C-alpha cells in the first residue's frame, strides 16, 4: 500500500499532517481490489466493513438466543436436529447445561461488544464523522484501518473459541471470578476463557484506536464555519461515546490482565479461601477479593451501556428532525444532557453491586447518582416528543425506527428507576426483571437506533434505497415482537424468577410461567426470522435496490448530502463546503429546509 493513499485527503482547516499544498482536486490513485475493499483506508469503506461484520455477528448472536430460547420454552422436548448440528452439546436433542451457559455468555458478549459497540459505533462514527463535519477522511486513516482489523482479529479469536473441545467461556458475559478463573470449577473457564480474554484485549485495542481517531477528527478537522455548536447531534453523541470508551475500556483491560495472572500466574487478586468440590482440593490462594473484579468490570460495564445507547440517541435525534421537517427541540439541552449522561456514567457503576455486601452507605450514594441519570434522560425524551409536536411527519422506515426507539427507551428507562433504587434491587437483582430492563433499554433500543441509521443513510452508503415494504414489515413485527418478548419478563422478575436458569421445573416458586416461556420463545423465533429478512433486504438492496437519483433525497441540511451520490475517497470532488449555520434549519421562514452551506440571508430571522 502506498503512503499516498493515506494522504490524498486534504482538510480545509489546516492540520499538521498536510503534506500536499495548494491542490484541491481529488487524486485518483490506481486502486486495487485489496486497497479498495480489504485494507481500505477510506472511512466509508471501513464503516461498511464494520456494519457487515456486525451483521454477521448479530445473526450469530441472535441464533444463539433462538437456541437457548428453544430450551427455555420447551424444556421437556427434544430436537434431534440439534444433535445432528451440534453433536455432544445437544446430546439426545436437548441443549446441555454447559452449552446453555456457553450460549448465554456468548450471546451477551457478542451483542454487547461486537454488535452494539463495534458494529454500531464503528459503522456510524466512521461513516458520519468526516461526512458531517466536512472532512476528507479521519485524522488518521491508517489507525482507522487498524481499528477495523483489530476488531476483525478479536472476532476471529472469539469465533475460534466456539470450536474448542471444552467450549467457549460460559460464566456469563460479565465473567466474574472465581468462576471464570478456575477451569476446575467450570469447563468454559478452561481454554475458552483464555480465548475470551485475548479476544477482548484485541477488541479494547480496536476500540481505543477508533475512539482516539474519532475524538481527534471531531475536534481538529471540522470544516470552515463548523463550530462545535453547529455540529449535528449525531456527531456530539459519537464524540461523547468515544470519550467514554477511551476512558473506560483500559480499566476493563487492567481487570482482565489481573484475571489472566490469577488464572496462570498463581496470583491472588480475586481468589481467596477456595475449595473446589469437583477435585476435592483447597487452593493455596488467600487474601484476594472477588469483588475487586466487579468494581473494575463495571467501571467499564456501566459506561459501556452508554457507549451503546448514545450513538443511537444521536442517530435518532438527527433522523427525527429531518423527518418531522422541524428543528430538533432544545439542541443545547440535548448536548447538555448527553454531557451529563457521560459524566454520570462514570459515577454509577456500583449499582450493579448492591447485593455483593457493599457498604450500605456507599450503596446509598450510588442510588442517588444513578437516579440522577433519569433527569437528562427525561429531558431527552420530552425533547424528542416536542420535536414531533406540530411537525409534518414522514414515516420513512428510519423515522419509524426513531419513534420506536423513543417508545422503547421510555419503557426500559422507567424500569431502570426500579433497579437503580437499592431497596427494590434487593428483590429484583439478577431476576428476569433485569433481563427485561436492559434488553429493552439498551438491546432493542440500540438496535432500533442502528436500524434507524441504516435505513436513513443506506442511500448515502450504497447509492440505492432499501425496499420500503420489507422495511415496514420489519419495523412493525420487530416493535410488537420486542414488547411481546420482553414486557412479560418483568412479571417473571417480580416473582423473583432468577436469570441464567435453563429449567425451572424443579422450583415451586418459579414454575408457574411455563406457558409464558413457551410464548416468549415462539415470538422470539418469529422476530429473529424477520431480522433475517432485514439482512436479506440489506444485501439485496446493495446490488438491486432502487437507485438514488438526487443528491439529497431526504431534504436534509447536513453536509453529507452535499457530496455526490456515490462519493469517492475524499468525499467532495471540489473544495470542502463552508458551513454558515447550524444543522437544524427546517421549516424556517417558510422554507422547507436550509442547507448548512447556505450563508445567512440578509432578512433571515434569528432563532
Partner 1 sequence: MSTIFIIIILLLGFVITFQIAKASEYVSVLKGEKKAFENNNRINGFLMMVFLVAGLIGVYWCNELFKGKVLGEAASQHGKQIDSMLHITFIITGIIFIITQVLLFWFAYKYQYSEKRKGYYFPHDNRLEMVWTVIPAIALTILVGFGLFYWFRITGDAPKDALQIEVTGKQFGWIFRYPGKDEIFGKKYYQNISDAKQNSLGLIWDDPATHDDIVVNTTMYLIVNRPVKLIINSRDVIHDVGLAEFRMKMDAVPGTPTTMWFTPLYTTEEKKKMTHNPDFEYEISCDQMCGSSHFTMRGVIKVVTNEEFILWRAKQKSNYASVFENTPAAPGKTDSSNMKAAAVINTNAASKSVAQKN
**Region 315-344 residues binding partner 1, contact defined as CB under 8 A:** 324-333
Contacts of 237 (CB under 8 A, 6+ apart): 310, 311, 313, 314, 315, 317, 338
Q: Within 399-418, which residues bind partner 1 (CB under 8 A)?
A: 400, 403, 406-407, 410-411, 414-415, 417-418
What CA–CA distance (Å, rounded) separates 227 from 368?
A: 35
Q: Within 298-317, which residues bind partner 1 (CB under 8 A)?
A: none
CB of 489 to partner 1, least distance (A): 11
- Comparison of 15 and 421: residue with beta carbon closer to partner 1: 421
Of 500, 550, 566, 599, the one binding partner 1 (CB under 8 A) is 500
Only segment of 42-50, 219-227, 296-304, 505-513 that touches partner 1 (CB under 8 A): 505-513
Residue 277 found at the interface with partner 1 (CB under 8 A) = yes
- Comparison of 139 and 316: residue with beta carbon closer to partner 1: 316
Q: Is 75 exposed, middle or buried (0-12, 13-18, 19+ CB in 10 A)?
A: middle
Residue 289 found at the interface with partner 1 (CB under 8 A) = yes
Instruction: State the binding string over 55-84 for partner 1 (x if CB under 8 A, else -).
Output: ------------------------x-x---
- Comparison of 57 and 329: residue with beta carbon closer to partner 1: 329
The CA distances from residue 453 to 51, 127, 230, in Å, are: 11, 11, 20
Instruction: Centre a 10 Å sphere on the Cβ of residue 481 and count the other Cβ atoms it contains.
Output: 20
Instruction: Centre a 10 Å sphere on the Cβ of residue 165 and count the other Cβ atoms it contains.
Output: 9
Only segment of 134-142, 202-210, 445-453, 461-469 that touches partner 1 (CB under 8 A): 461-469
Residue 22 found at the interface with partner 1 (CB under 8 A) = no
Q: Which of 42, 23, 145, 39 is nearest to 566 (CA)?
A: 42
Residue 598 found at the interface with partner 1 (CB under 8 A) = no
Q: Within 360-389, which residues bind partner 1 (CB under 8 A)?
A: 360, 363-364, 367-368, 371-372, 374-375, 378-379, 381-386, 388-389
Whether the Cβ atoms of residue 214 and residue 231 lie closer than 8 Å to each other: no
- Comparison of 103 and 139: residue with beta carbon closer to partner 1: 103
What CA–CA distance (Å, rounded) separates 107 from 149?
A: 22
Count of residues that interact with partner 1, criterion CB under 8 A: 134
487-491 contact pairs (CB < 8 A, 24+): 487/411, 487/436, 488/516, 488/519, 488/520, 489/432, 489/433, 489/435, 489/436, 489/439, 489/520, 490/415, 490/432, 490/433, 490/436, 490/437, 491/516
Q: Within 427-446, which residues bind partner 1 (CB under 8 A)?
A: 427, 429-431
Residue 229 found at the interface with partner 1 (CB under 8 A) = no
CB of 8 to partner 1, least distance (A): 37
What CA–CA distance (Å, rounded) separates 16 from 35?
A: 25
Instruction: Give bridge partners of residue 464 from the DSSP assignment.
Output: 547
Q: Which of 586, 583, 581 is nearest to 599 (CA)?
A: 581
Of 17, 566, 589, 601, the one binding partner 1 (CB under 8 A) is 589
- Comparison of 124 and 293: residue with beta carbon closer to partner 1: 293
Of 4, 25, 286, 575, the one binding partner 1 (CB under 8 A) is 286
* DSSP state letters, 440-473: IIIIIHHHHHHHHHHHHHHHHHHSBPPPHHHHHH
Collapse the DSSP code of 249 into the 3-class scheme (helix H, G, I; strand E, B; otherwise coil) and give the result.
helix
Only segment of 213-221, 249-257, 303-311, 486-494 that touches partner 1 (CB under 8 A): 486-494
Whether the Cβ atoms of residue 526 and residue 96 lie closer than 8 Å to each other: no
Q: Within 141-180, which residues bind partner 1 (CB under 8 A)?
A: 170-172, 176-179
What are the phi and psi torsion angles at 171 (to 5°)? -100, 20
Whether the Cβ atoms of residue 139 and residue 126 lie closer than 8 Å to each other: no
- Comparison of 110 and 479: residue with beta carbon closer to partner 1: 479
Only segment of 24-32, 48-56, 299-307, 351-359 that touches partner 1 (CB under 8 A): 351-359
Only segment of 5-13, 16-24, 253-261, 353-361 that touches partner 1 (CB under 8 A): 353-361
CB of 123 to partner 1, least distance (A): 24
Residue 98 found at the interface with partner 1 (CB under 8 A) = yes
- Comparison of 225 and 587: residue with beta carbon closer to partner 1: 587
Residue 494 found at the interface with partner 1 (CB under 8 A) = yes
Contacts of 571 (CB under 8 A, 6+ apart): 44, 130, 131, 135, 136, 137, 563
CB of 252 to partner 1, least distance (A): 19
Q: Within 531-550, which residues bind partner 1 (CB under 8 A)?
A: 532-533, 536-537, 546
CB of 29 to partner 1, least distance (A): 37
Residue 510 found at the interface with partner 1 (CB under 8 A) = yes
Whether the Cβ atoms of residue 289 and residue 270 lie closer than 8 Å to each other: yes
Residue 491 found at the interface with partner 1 (CB under 8 A) = yes
Which helix (H) or strand (E) segment holds residue 250: the answer is helix 233-264
What CA–CA distance (Å, rounded) separates 319 from 403?
A: 10
Q: At what angle do helices 445-462 and 514-544 cross, to 10 degrees?
A: 10
- Comparison of 379 and 542: residue with beta carbon closer to partner 1: 379
Residue 356 found at the interface with partner 1 (CB under 8 A) = yes
Only segment of 26-34, 127-135, 268-276, 342-350 that touches partner 1 (CB under 8 A): 268-276
Q: Within 184-203, which residues bind partner 1 (CB under 8 A)?
A: 185-187
Instruction: Centre a 10 Å sphere on the Cβ of residue 419 and count the other Cβ atoms it contains.
Output: 21
**In this structure, is the dihedral angle defined by the CA atoms of residues 552, 557, 562 and 563, taken in order, positive or negative?**
negative
Amino acid at each position: 500500500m502506498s503512503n499516498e493513499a493515506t494522504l490524498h485527503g486534504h482538510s480545509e482547516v489546516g492540520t499538521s499532517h498536510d503534506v500536499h499544498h495548494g491542490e484541491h482536486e481529488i487524486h485518483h490513485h490506481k486502486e486495487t481490489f485489496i486497497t479498495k475493499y480489504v485494507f481500505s483506508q477510506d472511512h466509508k469503506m471501513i464503516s461498511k466493513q464494520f456494519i457487515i461484520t456486525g451483521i454477521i455477528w448479530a445473526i450469530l448472536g441472535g441464533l444463539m438466543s433462538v437456541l437457548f430460547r428453544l430450551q427455555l420454552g420447551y424444556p421437556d422436548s427434544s430436537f434431534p436436529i440439534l444433535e445432528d448440528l451440534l453433536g455432544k452439546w445437544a446430546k439426545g436433542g436437548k441443549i446441555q447445561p454447559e452449552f446453555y451457559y456457553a450460549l448465554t455468555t456468548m450471546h451477551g458478549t457478542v451483542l454487547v461488544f461486537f454488535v452494539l459497540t463495534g458494529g454500531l459505533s464503528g459503522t456510524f462514527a466512521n461513516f458520519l464523522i468526516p461526512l458531517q463535519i466536512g472532512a476528507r477522511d479521519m485524522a488518521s486513516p491508517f489507525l482507522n484501518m487498524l481499528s477495523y482489523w483489530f476488531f476483525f482479529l478479536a472476532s476471529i479469536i472469539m469465533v475460534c473459541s466456539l470450536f474448542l473441545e471444552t467450549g467457549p467461556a460460559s460464566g456469563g458475559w460479565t465473567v466474574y471470578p472465581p468462576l471464570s478463573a478456575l477451569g476446575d470449577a467450570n469447563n468454559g473457564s478452561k481454554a475458552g476463557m483464555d480465548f475470551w480474554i485475548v479476544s477482548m484485549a484485541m477488541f479494547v485495542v480496536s476500540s481505543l484506536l477508533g475512539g482516539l481517531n474519532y475524538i481527534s477528527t471531531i475536534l481538529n478537522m471540522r470544516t470552515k464555519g463548523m463550530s462545535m455548536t453547529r455540529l449535528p447531534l449525531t456527531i456530539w453523541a459519537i464524540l461523547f461515546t468515544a470519550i467514554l470508551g477511551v476512558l473506560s475500556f483500559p480499566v476493563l483491560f487492567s481487570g482482565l490482565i489481573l484475571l489472566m495472572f490469577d488464572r496462570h500466574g498463581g496470583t491472588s487478586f480475586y481468589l481467596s479461601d477456595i475449595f473446589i468440590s469437583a477435585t476435592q482440593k483447597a487452593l493455596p490462594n488467600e487474601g484476594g477479593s472477588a469483588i475487586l473484579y466487579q468494581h473494575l468490570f463495571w467501571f467499564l460495564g456501566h459506561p459501556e451501556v452508554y457507549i451503546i445507547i448514545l450513538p443511537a440517541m444521536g442517530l435518532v435525534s438527527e433522523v427525527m428532525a429531518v423527518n418531522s421537517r422541524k428543528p430538533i427541540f432544545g439542541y443545547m439541552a440535548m448536548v447538555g444532557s448527553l454531557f451529563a449522561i457521560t459524566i454520570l456514567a462514570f459515577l454509577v457503576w456500583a449499582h450493579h453491586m448492591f447485593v455483593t455486601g457493599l457498604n450500605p452507605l456507599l450503596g446509598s450514594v450510588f442510588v442517588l447518582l444513578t437516579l440522577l441519570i433519569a433527569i437528562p434522560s427525561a429531558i431527552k425524551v420530552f425533547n424528542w416528543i416536542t420535536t414531533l409536536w406540530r411537525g409534518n411527519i414522514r414515516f420513512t422506515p428510519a423515522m419509524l425506527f426513531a419513534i420506536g426507539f423513543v417508545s422503547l427507551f421510555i419503557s426500559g428507562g422507567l424500569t431502570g428507576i426500579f433497579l437503580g433504587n437499592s431497596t427494590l434491587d434487593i428483590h429484583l437483582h439478577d431476576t428476569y426483571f433485569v433481563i427485561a430492563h436492559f434488553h429493552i433499554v439498551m438491546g432493542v433500543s440500540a438496535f432500533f437506533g442502528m436500524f434507524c441509521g441504516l435505513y436513513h443513510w443506506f442511500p448515502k452508503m450504497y447509492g440505492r434505497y432499501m425496499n420500503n415494504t420489507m422495511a415496514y414489515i420489519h419495523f412493525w413485527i420487530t416493535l410488537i415482537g420486542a414488547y411481546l418478548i420482553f414486557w412479560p419478563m418483568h412479571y417473571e422478575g417480580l416473582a423473583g424468577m432468577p436469570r441464567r436458569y435453563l429449567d425451572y421445573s424443579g422450583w415451586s416458586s418459579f414454575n408457574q410461567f411455563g406457558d409464558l416461556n413457551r410464548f416468549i420463545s415462539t415470538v422470539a423465533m418469529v422476530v429473529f426470522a424477520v431480522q433475517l429478512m432485514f439482512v436479506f433486504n440489506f444485501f439485496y438492496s446493495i446490488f438491486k435496490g432502487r437507485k438514488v437519483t438526487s443528491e439529497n433525497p431526504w431534504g436534509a441540511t447536513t453536509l453529507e448530502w452535499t457530496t455526490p451520490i456515490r462519493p469517492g475517497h475524499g468525499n467532495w470532488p471540489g473544495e470542502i463546503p463552508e458551513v454558515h449555520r447550524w444543522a437544524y434549519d427546517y421549516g424556517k421562514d417558510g422554507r422547507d429546509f436550509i442547507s448548512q452551506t447556505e450563508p445567512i440571508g440578509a432578512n433571515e430571522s434569528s432563532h
